[in-house]
Amino acid sequence: MEAILALLLVASGAFAAWLLRRAWRAKPGAGAGDKFAGWAIIVASLVWPAFVMGPTLGPFVALAAISTGALGLVSSGVTFRKAKAARAGAGRDSLAPEPVERPTTAWRTTLRWLLAGPIGMIAAMAIGIAYSVWVPGEPQTRLVIGGLTVPVVWGSAMAWTLADSRILRATAVLVGTAIFGFGISILRGFA
């Protein structure tokens, strides 16, 4: 029964998206009826499942199914075009830009490796610990969220240090972040 209702919601999401797309492509002032009908179908499709499936499951399934139907309609209009020719003399085969040509020496390579690895990890840990110490709430929740932020911040620091051509700026920011994060954590303590 739920599968049939979900398919009905997917179809209503696709139909509402089709009406809205038609209204937005129409000349100014001509698509008001389609726009109203599209939004009315979306609102009705969000409300009626609460009565059929329950007040918790109904809106959840409706949001997922309506979005899936709209995404299906939007993705059905995707066209793949060949990439434009690169500028004269560039001769690139991919759309990704080449990394910045920068002078590389042994100490720059070593420092970049240290920044992307251990120094970036220490700065990420400082941010995660500072979050766990300073944000109000249950200690378990603070520890979990603080621990989950560490890999995200570490990955961001890694990507930034490898892409940035100014290595001393990255060094200053990551070392400063580590010192600041651990410093404010020590001042507060885990209460």
- Residue ranges per domain, the chain? 2-76, 106-188
Q: What is the mean pLDDT of residues 173-188?
A: 93
List Cβ neighbours of 69 (8 Å cut-off, separation of 6 or more): 9, 10, 11, 12, 13, 14, 15, 16, 17
Task: Tell me which of 104 and 44 has the higher pLDDT.
Answer: 44
From 53, 55, 33, 41, select the one nearest 13 (Cα to Cα): 41
pTM (2 d.p.):
0.49
CA-based R_g, the chain, Å: 26
Alpha-carbon span 125 to 182, nearest angstrom: 9
Answer yes or no: is pLDDT of 13 > 70: yes
Return phi, psi of residue 40, to 5°. Answer: -65, -40
Instruction: Look up residue 27 and give its two tokens.
Output: 């000349």
